[in-house]
Homo-oligomer: A and B are copies of this chain.
Amino acid sequence: MKKRPQKRLDYEKELRRAGVRITRPRRTILGILSQTEDHPDALEIFRRAVAVDPSISLSTVYRTMKLLGDMGAIHRHAFEGGPSRFEHASGEHHDHLIDIETGDVIEFKSDRIEQLQDEIAKSLGYDIVHHRLELYGRKRRAG
């Protein structure tokens, strides 16, 4: 029952603050991202955008995702065997379980795992800058 009302306005504010122009294609893409609860790839975002504004280009989608990624407003995930997929960066950090049959993505979080990761890195003499934890699985059937 999560609500993500008018996330687009937040994006716009952030963008303006960063000194970037709010153009028609950008507004369209932000609108789509604000309604997005899944993890679409660039082509899928492009398709959804074209439905709103047929003149939009895939380049602009990529450029906008790059822009938002650099600002930290979205995350890009390069899951196995496919193009990068995006999600908004609102909310807390989490990792992903990918359904290898459907491509569905389930988010999860484990403080314990994060803590263990830190310990491991430290013991190896490293500080973690970021990490990637992806579980690829198959839905267990009842019975």
Contacts and interface: CB of A to CB of B under 8 A. Distances in A.
Interface of A: 78, 80, 97, 99-100, 106, 108, 110, 112-113, 116-117, 120-122, 124-140
B124 A80 contact: no
B125 A135 contact: no
B133 A132 contact: yes
A128 B136 contact: yes
A116 B113 contact: yes
Number of this chain's copies in the assembly equals: 2
B135 A131 contact: yes
Contact of A140 (B108, B126, B137): B126
A108 B137 contact: no
A129 B137 contact: yes
Secondary structure type dominating chain A contacts: strand
A131 B132 CA distance: 10
A136 B130 contact: yes
B113 A125 contact: no
Given A136-B130, A137-B128, A97 B120 contact: yes
Given A80-B78, A110-B116, A136 B140 contact: no
Nearest to A120: B108
Contacts of A129: 100, 136-138
